Chain A
Amino acid sequence: MSSEAAPERRFISGNEAVAWGVRLCRPQVIAAYPITPQTTAVEKLAEFIEKHELECEYVNVESEHSAMAAVMGAAMLGCRTFTASSSQGLLYMCEMLHYVSGSRFPIVMMNANRTVAAPWNIYGDHRDSMAMRDAGWIQLYVENVQEALDMMIQAYKMAEHPQVQTPVMVCLDGFVLTHTYEVISIPTQQEVDGWLPPYSPSENVLDLNAPKSLCISVSPEWQTEFRFQQQEAMEAAKAIIPIVDTEFAACFGRGHGGLIEEYRCDDAEYVLVAMGSVVGTSRLVVDQLRDEGLKVGLVKVRFFRPFPKQEFAALAARVKGVGVIDREVSFGYEGALYTEVKAALVSGAGNPVTINFVAGLSGRDITKENIATMYRKVIASAGGETEPEMQFAGLRWEPW
């Protein structure tokens, strides 16, 4: 019995939690290239493997593009795999992300959210994963270290589901989650083995007994039908994701919700929408403003792809104002989360005012005061006051 058999509770960082979650899922091949702030996750996995606590092949690839190519090579032979990256590395493997999703391999990766150069900066925002939103991956953003561990395990279940067969990217805010320590509960290997069976690939695999050509060329006459399948799989995932969470909760005693989670929204008139670690801070602000008598609530977007369109369409009729926190901005337009939320709201009944708050770029803190200001601005706008639709949450020369 190894010295590091999973105890019940540990005080560990987000990256280490990811490593534990992945270890418990028994991947057979891991290939990764180091990039801050992902490094400690893959270092921990290398240590687990070297100590024979995880039986897995670890491939020290020479680039991120090769990391995704290598795990794809293993996945096509029917192995459960894992890789992780961030920022420049995620963009370097951009071609491979499309390749994997189009090939329908259920690869799971962790992305440590970090901005993208230039200018150089290693701290957290959502620029990197947002740039990859069209790559065909299921994309989810965790709020805390416990969710990080739990969603690694859920990720394999949903990726490998026969109706999904779509790769999953689990996003952790760089440094704020990857390097922050919390006391969390780690399931036992036995529990996870019982919940997540070994990977059983579909026909889409290299098999000496049934030879196939994979990732073939497809002419204009047929490519559309393959793309239709990918969209269908994402749509199917919308229903499967909450079921996976319910089943997880039944086994492990805690769940995290579906595509979104609403916090105190039942009678809310003004909500903020956010993803990632800022959700945790925002909950405190909601409670604080509720104590002041303001009817505010919070919508945590957990899954950005597939996008919770129906949930926002339904929300539109219930609220007077929606603010969206974006930790990136699509230059020339708005924050990407805002654009998508706004479009989804439009498809519902009701006409809430909407404001886009670009905040927390490149590791700048989003404070409780910032978040309270955001709520007040949404309320003011709903009340008829003029507020710019898209605002940077406090520039140094125009502090909020």
Chain B
Amino acid sequence: MSKPTTVVFHYPTDKTEMPEGPYAIAGVLVETNAGWRSVRPIIADDKCVQCDKCWLICPDGAIDRIEKSYTVDYDFCKGCGLCACECPTKAIRMIGEGEAE
């Protein structure tokens, strides 16, 4: 698994289920960040030159690179627009949340 996904977290229901100290398992996500967005990125594959820039610079790592094709993980994209701004071929545009592609 190359990145964590959300899980249903089991909160302690008894003192015996508490961790032995204020620690928590790394890479555990209980909620997404999708609700932060007011705009979201759409990648136009025909304009993409696979430069990797969007994948590299996303602060949230929300662009998945799978064998030179790029998809947005909309669970964790916050709609900051950096990918659209930095794409050298303008292959990414930002549209309003709720707008059809």
**Are A213 and B20 also in contact (CB < 8 A) when A225-B12, A225-B15, A232-B15 are?**
no
From A226, which residue of chain B is reached at the shortest CB distance? B22
Chain B: CB-nearest residue to A205: B23
Q: How far is the CB of B28 from chain A (nearest CB, A)?
A: 9
Kindly identify which residue among A103, A211, A216 contacts B27, using a CB–CB cutoff of 8 Å. Answer: A211
Interface residues of A in 240-259 (CB under 8 A from B): none
Contacts of B25 in A (CB 8 A): 210-213
B15 touches A204 (CB 8 A): no
Residue of B nearest to A215 (CB): B22
**Closest Cβ of chain A: how far from B31's Cβ, in Å?**
13
Let me know if A397 is at the binding interface, CB within 8 A: no
Contacts of B24 in A (CB 8 A): 212-213, 216
User: Are A214's CB and B21's CB within 8 A?
Assistant: yes
Given A211-B27, A214-B21, A226-B18, 11 further pairs, Cβ under 8 A:
A102-B22, A202-B21, A203-B20, A203-B21, A204-B21, A204-B23, A210-B25, A212-B24, A215-B22, A229-B18, A232-B15
Q: Mark A279-322, 1 if CB is under 8 A from B, else 0.
A: 00000000000000000000000000000000000000000000
Whether the pair B22, A216 counts as a contact (CB closer than 8 A) is yes
- The B interface, classified by DSSP as helix, strand, loop or mixed, is loop
Taking Cβ atoms with an 8 Å cutoff, the residues of A that contact B are 102-105, 162, 165, 202-204, 210-216, 218, 225-226, 228-229, 232
Contacts of A165 in B (CB 8 A): 20-21
Beta-carbon contact of A103 and B21 below 8 Å: yes
Alpha-carbon separation in the docked complex, A102 to B19 (Å): 13
Report chain B residues within 8 Å CB of A202: 20-21
Of A105, A213, A214, A225, the residue contacting B18 (CB under 8 A) is: A225
Cα of A204 to Cα of B34 in the assembled complex, Å: 32
Task: Kindly list chain B residues whose C-beta atoms are within 8 Å of the C-beta of A162.
Answer: 20
Interchain CA distance A104-B19 in the complex, whole Å = 11
- What is the bound-complex CA distance between A375 and B20, given in angstroms? 46
A136 to chain B, nearest CB (A): 12
Interface residues on B, range: 10 to 19
Least Cβ–Cβ distance between A370 and chain B, in angstroms: 45
Chain B residue with the shortest CB-CB distance to A222:
B11
Which residues from chain A contact B22 at a C-beta distance below 8 Å? 102-104, 214-216, 218, 226
Question: Which chain B residues lie closer than 8 Å to A204 at the CB level?
Answer: 19-21, 23
Set of chain B residues within 8 Å of A229, measured between Cβ atoms: 15, 18
Residue-wise interface mask of B (25-68) relative to A, using a CB-CB cutoff of 8 A (1 in contact, 0 not)? 11100000000000000000000000000000000000000000
A57 CB to closest chain B CB (Å) equals 23
Residues of B within 8 A of A (CB): 12, 15, 18-27
A210 to B26, CA, bound (A): 8
Q: Which residue of B lies closest to A228 (CB)?
A: B15
Chain B residues with CB under 8 A of A102:
22
Query: What 6 A-B pairs come out closest when comparing CB atoms?
Result: A204-B21, A104-B21, A211-B26, A202-B20, A214-B23, A212-B23
Question: Shortest distance in angstroms between A194's beta carbon and chain B's nearest beta carbon?
Answer: 27
Contacting residues, chain A, for B26 (C-beta < 8 A): 211-213
- Nearest chain-A residue to B12 (Cβ)? A225
A213 to B27, CA, bound (A): 9
15 A-B contact pairs sorted by A residue (CB < 8 Å): A103-B22, A104-B20, A105-B21, A162-B20, A165-B20, A203-B19, A210-B25, A212-B23, A212-B25, A212-B26, A213-B23, A213-B24, A214-B23, A226-B18, A229-B18
CA distance A22 to B22 in the complex (A): 28
Contacts of A103 in B (CB 8 A): 21-22
A215 & B15 in contact (Cβ 8 Å cutoff): no
- Distance of B20 from chain A, by nearest CB (Å): 5
CB distance from B3 to the nearest CB of A (A): 13
For residue A203, which residue of chain B has the nearest CB? B20
Residue ID in chain B nearest A165 by CB atoms: B20
Q: Which residues of B contact A218 (CB under 8 A)?
A: 22
Rounded to whole Å, the gap between the CB of B94 and the closest CB of chain A is 32
Give bound CA distance, A212 to B26, whole Å.
4
Give the complex CA separation of A202 and B23 in angstroms: 11
User: Most A CB atoms within 10 A — which of B18, B19, B23, B26?
Assistant: B23
- Which of B18, B19, B20, B25 counts the most chain A CB atoms within 10 A? B20
Within the assembled complex, what's the spacing in Å between the Cα atoms of A93 and B12? 32
